[in-house]
Amino acid sequence: MAVDDFLPSRHGFAFTNAWPDQPAVTLPTPFGDIGIGNAGGGLCGGMAFAALDYWLAGRAPGLDRPAAGDPLYRYIVDRLIDSWHAPAGVAQFYQWMSLPDGDNVIKLFGRRVVTERGLGWRTVRVQWPQIKKDLDRGLPVPIGVVTTASRNPKDLGLNHQVLAYGSGADGSRVTLRVYDPNRGRRDDITIRMDTSAPARPVTFDHNLGLGQRPIRGFFRVAYTPRQPA
């Protein structure tokens, strides 16, 4: 493993997640084959996985943006497919897109009964403790970021993937430091959340390269190291 801590300015790719129009990446899913657009739509998961691969191998990532057909380009595309962890990972993105932000609650015989956990509770109570455990050990964690509410499988490509590499807390306020392929080698990219009321919709403040899209929740992505190209 690399001896120094992960830092985007040292261990991220020198180029951002911006690519010319190139053939689409098609993934098999429980809903049928889904094209994640062409490369112009982004290869965020592949870049996050590849950056972690290089860091674990103690090697510097590529400096120049690879052209289609280059070994590094093919490697990033392969890692993008790995990052979707089909079919389970794709199904998790789809499930989270379909869930409410806060818990669904009904009153039954005068008592409040939770009928469905929302993204706030699933992020804060289930996913965050798992992510924090690895971060506390100094191990970066790829996370899937849900940015849209939809039941249309074609909207899967609107979601995002980043690499969390550090965290801090001020009371119930948690800050994740992340490598966002959309932002390149910036060390100031963060996701912030208040963990005090996870049953209600949780507000996520961020400066990820998502345009106007919000963060609704995030989860740990299944990752297996691979020898980098």
Average per-residue pLDDT for the chain: 89
Looking at residue 128, its pLDDT comes to: 98
Q: Is residue 152 situated within a structural domain?
A: yes
How many structural domains compose the chain? Answer: 1
Tell me the pTM: 0.89
Q: Is residue 225 situated within a structural domain?
A: no
List the one residue out of 168, 187, 145 whose CA is nearest residue 11. Answer: 187
The answer to whether the CB of 102 falls within 8 A of the CB of 200 is yes
| Axis-axis angle for helices 88-98, 71-84 (nearest 10) | 60
| 2 has a pLDDT exceeding 50 | no
Looking at residue 183, its pLDDT comes to: 96
Q: Is residue 229 situated within a structural domain?
A: no
Q: Is residue 3 situated within a structural domain?
A: no
Q: Long-range contacts of range 136-141, CB-CB < 8 Å, 24 or more positions apart? A: 138/5, 140/6, 140/52, 140/55, 140/164, 140/165, 140/179, 141/165, 141/220, 141/221, 141/223
Domain hosting 158: range is: 8-220
Q: How confident is the model at residue 40 (pLDDT cuts 50, 70, 90)?
A: very low
Q: Is residue 1 situated within a structural domain?
A: no
Q: Is residue 156 situated within a structural domain?
A: yes
Cα–Cα distance between 127 and 105 in angstroms, integer? 21
DSSP state of 58: T
Q: Is residue 228 situated within a structural domain?
A: no
Find the largest Cα–Cα distance for the chain.
64
pLDDT digits (tens, 9 = 90+) for 210-222: 999 999 999 999 9
Cα–Cα distance between 76 and 87 in angstroms, integer? 19
Q: Is residue 49 situated within a structural domain?
A: yes
Runs of H (alpha helix) within 138-219: none
Q: Count Cβ atoms within 10 A of the Cβ of residue 210 and give its class: 0-12 exposed, 13-18 middle, 19 or more buried.
A: middle
